[in-house]
Amino acid sequence: MEIKYDLIVIGAGPGGYVAALSAARQGMKVAVVEKQTVGGTCLGRGCIPTKTLLHTAELYKEAKEGEEIGLLTSGLSVDMGKLNQYKNQVVDTLSGGIEASFKKVKIALFRGEASILQLDQTDPDSGEKYQQVCVGEESLIGRKLLIATGSEPVHLPLPGMDLDGVWDSTDLLDNDQPIDSLVIIGGGVIGMEFASLYASLGTKVTVIEALDRILATLDKEFGQNLKMILKKQSVEIHTSAKLQSIEEGSEDGKRVLICHYLEKEKPQLSSGEKVLVAVGRRAYTDRLFDDKLEVRPQTERGKVLVDERFETSVPGVYAIGDVIPGIQLAHVASAQGENAVAAMLGKEPPIRMDVVPSCVYTSPEIASVGMTADEAKEKGIETETLKFVMGANGKSVLTRQERSFLRILVEKETGRILGAHMMCARATDMIGEFSSAIVNGLTADRMGEAIRPHPTFNEAVAEALRTFKE
């Protein structure tokens, strides 16, 4: 028997493809199996398509309000068909780029669904351990295996979820028609990005969120501010509102979907032409393990369990990304991929996993990294918050931004940067500076030594830092 690959990767999302490239660049012979888009959920039906649509929606919104700034447009409209084509073009370009990188480092790409046949077997000739995977008729044998199969939308077990027009994020991303009214179930990250997107396109948006606030995993102030901003765009947000069922109805002679929910225990209803259900994502391992597979990695509620080196309970078998417990973000999956490959090669992890920036691409953008003031307090750390309101930032004024701000959390005694939390234009680009500052233990004074160009949104960082110990 020939052990042909050093590593077999199942799933070419941001976890799997980054791991595969890293392994190949470090001399491993790698095979990747992917059944859909090379680039995964992120590229095919997640990060990239949503941000492509948001880009056009944002331009449209700005142009519509352009008269005051001397931008005269007549007959301005969005062609959803063309927008959808453009989004697909962006996806194809980036996916093709990853495939070209695979070719360059001689990664073998197999298209199809992988099934794991055998794990932790010993080759009788060489005494080496191996893992076996099949893709259709093809059998792949490798020393190590990386499971990077990602996640899929959670489906609620409620009446009416199968009705035509009740969509998940993948369905809505494929939409190429204007939508008059949209009800969004779930005020999490996906829900709020789509609310911002469709509100900008002129759709009447209603959000139904079970918890007492939107964007519940982030600092309270973000959700409160976003709610106010979206309200100005006529977005209706119902919190402490739990969906019960969806049924078909008709309004003004048009078919609508009526969502029944309990808001603060009272029965209520909202209707829309379409319904987006965005209530979380579950780890995806459907048909991954062959029925006859004896040695299996341990799982918990469908998620593959791993240790701090991303190795599963089966030696030589690793897992990363949305399929394991923890934060479901593309950059987290990629970082885990790099660290898992380092572990396979007996090297130190190159990336710190304890400092994770998280971003929401609403308008304005939201970005956050490191500790919040409450978390620092719980740890008994005395802090100072450096706050800057963007109303005094030239670039924010001239581009007519909504009320926005940034906050930097600093350890009082040492001046060490502990966290940064922003809601402003380009927040998602600016947050990286703070990830780097926290990882490198920089103080507010050291960060303040750098000149930031004028006029930029980034100048606000210098302004805020200047207020330390003022």
Q: Which residues bind ligand NAI (CB under 6 A)?
A: 156, 185-191, 193, 208-211, 216, 242-243, 278-281, 328-329, 359-361
Euclidean distance between the first and the last CA atom of the chain, given in angstroms as a whole number: 71
Using an 8 Å Cβ cutoff, are 207 and 188 in contact?
no
Both tokens of 187, joined, read 């005020």
Residue from 8, 9, 23, 114 that binds ligand FAD (CB under 6 A)?
Answer: 114
- Going edge to edge, which strands form the sheet with 204-208? 166-167, 274-277, 181-185, 204-208, 236-238
What is the rounded CA–CA span in Å between residue 436 and residue 440?
Answer: 6
Residues 343-402 touching ligand FAD, rule: CB under 6 A, are 361
Verify binding: residue 47, ligand FAD, rule CB under 6 A: yes
Among candidates 319, 321, 341, 348, which has minimal Cα distance to 21? 341
- Residue 209 contact, options ligand NAI, ligand FAD, none, Cβ 5-8 Å cut-off depending on partner type: ligand NAI
In angstroms, give the least distance from the CB of 466 to ligand FAD.
31
- Residue 205 contact, options ligand FAD, ligand NAI, none, Cβ 5-8 Å cut-off depending on partner type: none
Tokens 């996806």 label which residue?
A: 91
What is the rounded CA–CA span in Å between residue 152 and residue 323?
Answer: 10
Residue among 55, 155, 260, 454 flagged as catalytic: 454
Tokens 């600016």 label which residue?
A: 430
Q: Which is nearer to ligand NAI, 187 or 370 (CB)?
A: 187
- Residue 42 contact, options ligand NAI, ligand FAD, none, Cβ 5-8 Å cut-off depending on partner type: ligand FAD
| 18, 95, 107, 379 from 101: Cα distances, Å | 10, 10, 9, 44
Q: Which is nearer to ligand NAI, 146 or 259 (CB)?
A: 259
> Computed from CA positions of residues 52, 54, 58, 60, in that sequence, does the dihedral angle turn out positive or negative?
positive
Confirm whether 260 is a catalytic residue: no
Q: Which is nearer to ligand NAI, 90 or 216 (CB)?
A: 216
Q: Which is nearer to ligand NAI, 46 or 142 (CB)?
A: 46
Instruction: Give the HSE-up count for residue 224: Cα atoms under 13 Å, Cβ half-sphere.
Output: 3
Q: Which span (33-41, 250-258, 349-357, 402-410) binds ligand FAD, by CB under 6 A?
A: 33-41
What is the rounded CA–CA span in Å between residue 326 and residue 281?
Answer: 12
Q: Which residues bind ligand FAD (CB under 6 A)?
A: 10-16, 33-37, 40-42, 46-47, 50, 113-114, 148-151, 169, 190, 284, 288, 321-322, 328-331, 333, 361
> Which positions are catalytic?
454
